[in-house]
Amino acid sequence: MKKLILMSLAAVAMTLPACSNSKQEPKNIEVEVVSDAEITTMENDKVLKSSKGHPMLADFSAEWCPPCRQMKPIFRKLKNEYEGKIDLVTIDVDKNPELAERYNVTSIPTFVYISPSGKELYRNVGLQTEVIIRSDILKYLSE
């Protein structure tokens, strides 16, 4: 029984560093941060709204978050693929806490799909595959 408990504790201990907010230097990853044109003030509240009249996929993330860093290459690829059809933007929750609060982001990464009018349509939380994000983009482009 003791051996089983010790093995379980060892397994948990090995996973903790991947989830912690350690002070490790983040990998050099390009991050597009939301421009002022995409943050609109409505009724004294900052909201996300496309300046181009497109639907938007907002990636709420942080530099120190390992799953967020894993999503960057996928997000960049989809951004290039769907350019002109949907705005894909990244919001650093550490630099934009008011937006994270406004959209009730409690875990990262969080992907929020927003209509051209600024209304939240859907969200995914946590590490996602390219297939899932692509499927969601196609679903909301057709609405």
The catalytic site residues sit at: 65, 68
Buried b (16+ CB within 10 A) or exposed e, 85-114: ebbbbbbbbeebeebbeebebeebbbbbbb
In the chain, the amino acid numbered 109 is P
Element (H, E) at 134: helix 130-141
Determine contact, residues 90/38, Cβ cutoff 8 Å.
Answer: no
Q: Which two tokens stand for residue 45?
A: 């509240």
